[in-house]
Structure 1
Amino acid sequence: MKFVIAPDSFKGSLTAKEVALAIKKGISKIFPTAIFELVPMADGGEGTVQSLVDATDGTIISKEVTGPLGNKVTAKYGLLGNSKTAVIEMAEASGIGYIDKLTANPLITTTFGTGQLIIDALDHNIEEIILGIGGSATNDGGAGMAQAIGIHLLDAKGKELPFGGAALAHLAKIDTSNIDDRLTKVKIVIASDVTNPLTGKNGASAVFGPQKGATPKMVQQLDKSLIHYSEILQKSLNKDVAALPGAGAAGGLGAGLLAFTTAQMKHGIDIVVNYTNLKNKVYGADFVITGEGGIDFQTQYGKTPFGVAQASKSISPNIPVIALAGYVGKDVDVLYQDNVIEAIFSTVSGAKSLERAFEDSQDDIAQTSENIARLIKVLRS
């Protein structure tokens, strides 16, 4: 019997690889001679670097960069096992984890550190960059990132703009003469499921600004700054990116990447399915086991368990897909439609605090997996 085990991380407790090992441990008690394919997964958000590094026997690299508030932080990114692909999570350098209620201020936060990670990856002679852009603390349209890769954003006096989204209101000229020319030779793939435009009522400032500390007044100010920014981009680069789906992702970093590089935007789960070679590993499998920390009706919109199930069914339409989750939420019945996922199991063993649930997660996942294996054995006997 062959099991493909392809979970996401259980946020706050276990990496995707640790989840996969716990599932294998439980199933192995009942099927000790089974074949196991462990495929750590992610959907382009938090955990994507670790999952792809684990899945490809890659390497984690640490780099001191400029954080969203301008201070120095240590960020990590990955080099995949092929030594040709770097995978970066912008949140490592410019993420919301670096701010709190007292320091959150999207008028001044910057993506400069994300640009520094891109340059450091280029120094490793890579040919491709996968860039996950979820969880930002910024609303600068990717301006900081642009400055880090060699672009000068100048005001009417020819002075470099300071960091932050508010400064974009004073942008008068974009000088691309010093951009790192290695970027023209590297493929950049943006991993994002956000489809918001850069500006307007569905734009970066209005939709995502408040969670980064923006007051209603700030939202208006930031949106006006990004509108001006997009106008200068179009005038200087002949690129109209403001209305493109995903331009508003990560406070407009999507727009900056699309304007200043050759980046293309793709669904995060599709990227990970491709780089982990998941579809080939499904051939000949009897069951696919997936999961993540929480599953609900939103899982159908690009989350790992649904993406794993769809990819698996595209290879083997009748293969059963079973999903595990620490939390099973609202309206999960929608995931059973069209037999994409056959069963969903909660892994939490009894009523307990969230802290205790995190502590017990490895053992609970293993126990739930063992119980599933016992049921499979009964049904197959």
Structure 2
Amino acid sequence: MNILIAPDSFKDSLAAPLVCEQLRRGLLETFPAAHCQVLPLADGGEGTLETLASVLGGEFVECAVHDPLFRPIRARYLWLSATATAVIEMAQASGLELLTAAERNASGTTTLGTGELVADALARGARHVVLTVGGSATNDAGLGLATALGYRFWDENDHLVPPIGGNLTRIRRIDLSQVSPRLAEVSCRVVTDVTNPFYGPTGAAHVFATQKGADAAAITHLDAGLRHFAGVLRTTFGADLQQLPGSGAGGGMGGGAACFLRASITSAADWILNITSAAELLKTSDLLITGEGRIDAQTWQGKLLARLLALAAHHQVPVVLVCGTLHDPEAVLADPNVLYATSILPEPMPLAEALARTPELLETQGKLLGRLLSRK
């Protein structure tokens, strides 16, 4: 039997490559005749670089940048030399996990560090830049990113505007005279599964800024800033960002990058599945084992796992789902291509214990699946 093991990460517990390894190890212990291929997946958020590196190879490039609060840190991106492609994970330099809960401040944070990663990739000779925008701590619409690339932002008194989300309302004009000429030679894309608009009730500030430390007053101010800045960008670049799906991703980074980098916005799920050749691997597989930390109603709403399940159904490859917690068994039963779905938890236990035991529990689940499949 040819088995493709292709899970997402188990969030807060185990990265996708390790999820693959634990399932594979357990399965082969009880079903040694199985032929297992592993394909760790990611959704464009934290951990995407490591997952892609485990599949595609490449090298990590580390450089000095600034974190969301302008402090010096080291961050890295993935360099694929064969295609001169830089894969840049926004969370590396501008991520929420870089801040303590007390430091979160959507009005005072910046994407400057992400822009510094892009600038380093341009200096390295990148012909393609892919920017994943999950897990950001910012709501500056790419103001910091643009500043790192030579854009300058001026207020009504011709004073430079520092690149933070709270200053979007101050910007009156954009100076492009010092922008890196290399940008014109590079193709860029933003990958995200967020389709929120730039501003408004379902925009970047109202939907995402609370988790980034914004209270109600700050959200109102940030949304007004995005609305105002959209007008400045329309005047400068001729782009109507409010009509661009995903422009609100990454605190408005989707829309900002569409202007500053001339980037397209692409489905993260589609891009990940395409670049990892998931369809080709499914063509030679008899069974797909996939899953993530939590399977619930959102799993079936066009995200990575839903796209993978649709791809498996297209190639008539049956699926087994493995997860930490299974919250929507009715949705599983509604998919005729899913043979079985199971949680790795043998009994109720505290979350901390479940997270700590995830490697062991995944290996055990692999053993149980191997015993079952070996009887077929």
TM-score computed with the length of structure 2 as normaliser: 0.95
Q: 1:6 touches 1:308 (CA, 8 Å); kept in 2?
A: no
Measured at CA, do residues 131 and 207 of structure 1 come closer, stay the same or move farther in structure 2, by a change above 3 Å?
same
Give the distance between the partners of 1:328 and 1:255, measured in 2 at CA. Answer: 35
Question: Which residue of structure 2 aligns with residue 354 of structure 1?
Answer: 351
1:342 aligns with 2:305: no
1:333 aligns with 2:330: yes
Measured at CA, do residues 296 and 81 of structure 1 come closer, stay the same or move farther in structure 2, by a change above 3 Å?
farther
Give the distance between the partners of 1:9 and 1:294, measured in 2 at CA. Answer: 10
Per mean C-alpha deviation after superposition, the further-off stretch among 354-363 and 227-236 is 354-363
1:322 aligns with 2:314: no
Other structure's SS at 2:357 match: helix
Give the distance between the partners of 1:293 and 1:82, measured in 2 at CA. Answer: 33
Other structure's SS at 2:124 match: coil
Residues 303-353 of structure 1 deviation map (CA, whole Å, 9 limit, x = unaligned): 333222222222x22x21111111212x23224434243321111233333
Give the distance between the partners of 1:332 and 1:124, measured in 2 at CA. Answer: 48
Give the distance between the partners of 2:281 and 2:87, measured in 1 at CA. Answer: 22
Q: 1:297 touches 1:335 (CA, 8 Å); kept in 2?
A: no
Q: 1:3 touches 1:37 (CA, 8 Å); kept in 2?
A: yes
Residues 237-284 of structure 1 deviation map (CA, whole Å, 9 limit, x = unaligned): 222213321111111111100111221111111111111111111122
Q: 2:31 touches 2:373 (CA, 8 Å); kept in 1?
A: no
Give the distance between the partners of 1:363 and 1:241, measured in 2 at CA. Answer: 47
- Can you give the 5+ residue segments of structure 2 that lack an aligned partner in the other structure? none
Other structure's SS at 1:141 match: coil
RMSD: 1.7
Q: Return the offset for 1:81.
A: 6.8
Matches within 5 A, 1:285-324: 285-314=285-314, 316-317=315-316, 319-324=317-322
- Can you give the 5+ residue segments of structure 1 that lack an aligned partner in the other structure? none
2:5 partner letter = I
Q: How many residues align?
A: 376
Other structure's SS at 1:201 match: coil
Question: Which residue of structure 1 aligns with residue 43 of structure 2?
Answer: 43
Other structure's SS at 1:146 match: helix
2:369 partner letter = I
Matches within 5 A, 1:78-227: 78-80=78-80, 82=82, 84-227=84-227
Q: Return the offset for 1:133.
A: 0.7
Give the distance between the partners of 2:329 and 2:301, measured in 1 at CA. Answer: 12
Q: 2:147 touches 2:163 (CA, 8 Å); kept in 1?
A: no
TM-score computed with the length of structure 1 as normaliser: 0.93
Question: Which residue of structure 2 aligns with residue 261 of structure 1?
Answer: 261
Other structure's SS at 1:61 match: strand
2:175 partner letter = D
Give the distance between the partners of 1:233 and 1:163, measured in 2 at CA. Answer: 15
Q: 1:45 touches 1:268 (CA, 8 Å); kept in 2?
A: no
Q: 2:198 touches 2:247 (CA, 8 Å); kept in 1?
A: yes
Would you identify which runs of 4 or more consecutive aligned residues in structure 1 move more than 4 Å? none
